[in-house]
Chain A
Amino acid sequence: MRASRILAATAAVLAAATALAGLPGEAEARTLRWARSGDALTLDPHAQNEGPTAAVNHHIYETLVARDPKGALIPGLATAWRILPTDPTIWEFTLREGVTFHDGAPFTADDVVFSLNRALQPTSDYKGLLTSVDGVSKAGATTVHVKTKGPNPLLPNNLTNMFMMNKAWSEKNNVAKVQDFKSKEENFAVRNANGTGPFVLVSREPDVKTVMKRNDGYWGKSATVPLEVSEIVYTPIKADATRIAALLSGEVDFVQDVPVQDIERLKSTPNLRVTTGPENRTIFLGMDVGSADLKSDSVQGKNPFADKRVRQAMNMAINRAAIQRVVMRGQSVPTGVIMPPFVNGWTPDLDKAPAPDVARAKALLAEAGYGAGFQVTLNCPNDRYVNDEGICQAVVGMMGQIGIKVNLVSQSKTLHFPLVQKNPPETEFYLVGWGVPTFDSEYIFSFMYHTRDAKFGSWNALRYANADLDRKIESLSSEVDAQKRNATIAEIWKTVQEETLYLPIHHQTLAYAMTSSLDIPVDPENQPKLKYVVFKSM
């Protein structure tokens, strides 16, 4: 008796659900299950300037200036921006009216002043983008002035990841101070969020699952931003095979970080779609060129990396074509510079990679006094870039061919990145990849080449110090003359390329895989924005 009643009830519910699902229009509930290899490191919008972190935060928080899927600047929370005609060191931002945060509070000029000042704090990872900023002030109910140390025509380019928080919410929850990520601090904003974005955070379990639901009061809904996704379930799945299996079995709908070896197979699978495209990111190796002695090496009292000939030899030992062909299966563009072709300052000449030449590399090492080789440790992430661990293993082999024995320590990015960012850094030879959201060389210089101090070089573990270079880098942010500025950029590239400070590997190419009801193009910044998603009828 009871069993039949339960059956009847279930049938009724099912019938109702089917009827609901058939209803057309806005009320349609469409969940998009999204997976990639790693999680956002934190939801605190200013704590980590890292790709997947920003990718998740872009759904919850918004910026004054945004980028459309093609990379062009478009209005975000600011409707207009201009340099004041009366004072070239002041940028004026006109704010969008009628925008509310997820908790209902209106978005005001005070929030902008608060958020930009928060991003300037010492523990913020975005301070490197705001080095030219002298002060932020409210100039009216919907106007904000940003004063720069000198004229900085490119400031809006640096604001496309500068998320806006609510001042009252932050103060109430004691998160006016940015989380100190490097010392593993936790604050309320790490697992909770209150933005103006198209999706509202519902639940967050780091490294397990993050659920967001549609913000029905979103200001930006339009023909190009249809906001068809009603719920996002974001699951980091670290193992490549497991992630792809989840897509094949229909457990997830959209997968980033598709392993290169699976692209062909997924393309030929019915009901699946694969999109590929270049990412605005370069993968390279860095090393400690500045310390007097290395801790992890076998050489006593000397730092082999400090010798330019050693670095050149290492650069020559890397067979980039082999990495491209075997490790990446063609899904990469070998390069000789740590700057993707999208970036202002890029030239085909800089991009040319040195041809692998083991004999010459050995000769150079011998000339530098390391003919017998030496031993070092290479730190490598294993869940951040396409085949990162495979690249490192290949490098270990190539270094071995010129007599440098490399111990490989590969671990999750949550353990790897602090090694690079800690002060002083805890790695002497490491792999990282760098994307350029501003599409300008200055961004690379200030994070990767400028001597590490309170504002600059937070990702630079080179321990390289060159006052002249630093001065040139700093001059870029206030140079108004585009021609002169580009000349300085070229000059800086010439210096750092001659020094062979980093060992570039390749520009990363990306692949996304999804069910065929979706068609999400590869985002050059690898931050797909799901508010643009349109569901196709199958």
Chain B
Amino acid sequence: MSAAPLRPPGRLARAWDSDIGYAFRRSPVAMLSTLVVLLAVGASVLAPWLAPQDPFDPTQLDLMDGMTPPLGTNEITGRTFWLGTDPQGRDLVSAILFGSRISLLVGFASVILSMAIGISAGLVAGYLGGRTDALVMRIADVQLSFPAILVALLVFGIFRGVVPPARQEEATLSVLILAIGLSNWAQYARTVRATTLVEKGKVYVEAARLIGLRPLAIMVKHVLPNVTGPVLVIATINLALAIIEEATLSFLGVGMPPTQPSLGTLIRVGQGYLFSGELWILAFPALALIVLSLAINLLGDWLRDALDPKLR
């Protein structure tokens, strides 16, 4: 046991000093969007404690509160709501907090799902090559030739047919994740396969093979670390896309039910009140969705530039 050596800089400090860290410190856009994303994530995680009411619990809603304008006082109940209420008397602040919670949950979970599928498919295809490669990539091609939203709608259609109606409401969230996750894996597969093809021919992989490592170990331990950069970029941009896709599905009426509204459901409900002047029902959830997805998109954009050696 020798005396403790000089403490190496911590992970955080190392990240701060790295190239990316430097680029981050120089980019106000990146800092601002990170701040927004962190705020959104924090607010949605803490939603049950922050929100004045639980918008998913019908017993906490009073129909008489319905359609209260922002900051206005309801004529009957005398209550005031910052952002107003929807037609069911749901406080929009709470609805947006809980709605973003669903959006982010669906976004993160579906991105992890598509990453898991895409990375494994890409690694296997790139590393094994031959028929496996052809098969996996053709499936990915087929997948890419459909708009993601159609694939998600298809998954939902099957879900509606298979699950008994009584169980559908509680299963919707998992099906949303599944539907969006299954519709976005192909890009990961392509990127990972391309990188794998390059890495596979390199000396260190051949060395690993020579010492008798199994293909799985090589793929996971040696090839995979090299694809994290591009995958991270796709994942960030896909997160924004997944959030929008969830909103679209809910807007179309196949996603979250009106009793548990996500941002898309709120926009769908609010759309019915566009002409009658109750703009806030549509405007605030839409604004929340725009800010959230824009921030994540900007972050992804910046990350891509920062990781691209040609742009550095």
Name A's B-contacting residues (CB within 8 A).
Answer: 239-241, 244-245, 248, 259, 261-262, 264-266, 295-296, 319, 322-323, 325-327, 377, 379, 382, 389-390, 393-394, 396-401, 406-410, 419, 426
- CB distance B58 to A397 under 8 Å? yes
**Which residues does chain A contribute within 8 Å of B276, judged by CB atoms?**
259, 261-262, 264-265
**Known contacts A326-B66, A326-B89, A393-B88, A265 near B277 by CB under 8 Å:** yes
Q: Using Cβ atoms and an 8 Å threshold, which residues of chain B touch A323?
A: 63
Excluding A266-B275, A397-B58, A408-B259, 17 further A-B contacts by CB distance (< 8 Å) are A241-B275, A248-B275, A259-B272, A261-B278, A295-B166, A296-B166, A323-B63, A377-B169, A390-B87, A393-B258, A394-B63, A397-B88, A401-B58, A407-B166, A407-B169, A407-B259, A409-B257
Chain B contact residues: over half helix, strand or loop, or mixed?
loop
B165 A400 Cβ-Cβ under 8 A:
no
Closest A-B pairs by Cβ, 10 of them: A400-B58, A400-B59, A397-B58, A261-B276, A326-B66, A296-B166, A377-B166, A322-B63, A407-B169, A240-B272
- B274 close to A (CB within 8 Å): yes
Whether the pair A408, B273 counts as a contact (CB closer than 8 A) is: no
Query: Could you give 17 example pairs across A and B, Cβ below 8 Å?
Result: A239-B271, A241-B275, A261-B278, A264-B276, A265-B277, A322-B63, A326-B63, A327-B63, A377-B166, A390-B87, A393-B58, A397-B58, A397-B61, A397-B63, A408-B258, A410-B257, A426-B165
Complex contact B257–A241 (CB within 8 A):
no
Q: Find B64's partner among A265, A296, A325 (CB 8 Å cutoff).
A: A325
A262, A406, A409: the one within 8 Å of B275 (CB): A262
Give the complex CA separation of A474 and B103 in angstroms: 56
Q: B239 on the interface (CB 8 Å rule)? A: no
**Residues on the B chain within 8 Å of A241, using CB:** 271-272, 274-275
**B residues whose Cβ falls under 8 Å from a Cβ of A:** 57-59, 61-64, 66-67, 76, 87-89, 165-166, 168-170, 253, 257-259, 271-278
A82–B81 CA distance with the chains assembled, in angstroms: 65
Residue from A393, A408, A426 within 8 A of B169 (CB atoms)? A408
* A359 CB → nearest B CB, Å: 14
Of all chain B residues, the one with the shortest Cβ separation from A259 is B272
CA distance A266 to B275 in the complex (A): 9
The complex places the Cα of A239 from the Cα of B271 at a distance, in Å, of 9
Interface contact B273-A261, CB-CB below 8 Å: yes
- In chain A, what residue has the closest Cβ to B63? A322
- The CA of A261 and the CA of B89, in the complex, are separated in Å by 15
The distance from the CB of B87 to the nearest CB of chain A, in whole angstroms, is 6
Name the CB-closest residue of A to B259: A408
Chain A residues contacting B166 (CB-CB under 8 Å) are: 295-296, 377, 407, 409
B243 to chain A, nearest CB (A): 23
B62 partner residues in chain A, CB cutoff 8 A: 397
